[in-house]
Structure 1
Amino acid sequence: MNASVAFPKPSLRPYLAADLPLLAEIRLAAIEELTIEDYDEAQRRAWADLADDEAGLGETLKKGLSLIALISGAPVGFIVLADGGVIDQLYVHPAVARTGVASALCDAIEKLARARKLENLVVDASDTAKPLFDKLGFTAERRNTISVEDVWLGNTRMKKKLT
């Protein structure tokens, strides 16, 4: 993406049930296209297979504090804050990667978490997302590995103190 082209700042709003099919597509596109440098083909396929659960995503979005990022009125990303200050989901469409959409979502969730008097935000950041969370002031606590379909995926537990 040409850095000299100004990219519109996203607007944010709460999740609506009608968003679900498009958000499921955004999540799969992000996994398949944005993680290529950090995860091999087998890892991306296993992750995408695990993520290909629209009903499960719908439950997560309903249960958590879920924000949708929009550009020109169309959803381009989302974030979910679950109980305990856990950022459960953060995905942006590949077309808007590295344009500030994920940062805007994280900033908004942090403000809401502070308003709710949460002491920390916690995330199990993919290797792809870790640089973003580093930039936002999160610190790495430990390395995690999870087995999905006999394939190992790594991520990093990160925390940001809010108090």
Structure 2
Amino acid sequence: MIGIRNYRPADASALRTIFSDTIRRINVADYCEAEVEAWAAGGRDCSVWQQKMDAIAPFIAEADGEIVGYADLQQDGLIDHFFCHHNYQGKGVGRRLMAHIFSVGQSLGISRYYSMVSITARPFYERFGFNVVKAQTVEIGGQRLRNFHMERVVD
């Protein structure tokens, strides 16, 4: 059973591991090794990571007490981070997180959700009604990575 709860500052370290491991084990299918390492390096500085997680306050997905994923929703509809543990891909973690995001978003009156989505995550977001606004290239750690600005508008 996958449960969703609110973030606690003590979660940051586990989220950092999920972030870097997912990029290295899952996103490597769509990005070269140099791109993967530059992207995953975003979690290296523990104090910067802690500040980022405290700022976005993501929702935490747990299975049997283990953190297996996380995702946030900002007041303007931005989903900044959305990551599932590599061992829990395809097991409903992302689906539960997205359902929670939409539920919270509805209560906040959010009518437009948007995110900068990796090549890897694009099909997942499309299953939830997101459309590509534009393909783009972003620079991370000296590497140029392709991703997609995607959005979902709720009537």
TM interval, short-chain normalised = over 0.9
Q: Distance in 1 between matches of 2:69 and 2:41?
A: 19
**Which letter does structure 2 place at the counterpart of 1:97?**
Q
Question: 1:46-99 CA deviation, whole Å, 9 max, x = no partner?
Answer: 101123233333223322352100000111110011231100001111000111
Aligned to 1:25: 17
Aligned to 1:48: 40
Task: Report % sequence identity.
Answer: 25
Three-state SS of the structure 1 residue aligned to 2:23 is: helix
Structure 2's unaligned 5+ residue stretches are none
1:1-163 mapped onto 2 (5 Å cutoff): 9-163=1-155
Q: TM-score, normalised by structure 1?
A: 0.89
Q: Distance in 1 between matches of 2:44 and 2:83?
A: 14
Runs of 4+ in 1 over 2 A off after TM superposition: 50-65
1:119 is displaced (CA, Å) by 1.4
1:144 is displaced (CA, Å) by 1.5
How big is the alpha-carbon RMSD for the aligned residues of Structure 1 and Structure 2?
Answer: 1.3
In the alignment of these two chains, the number of paired residues is 155
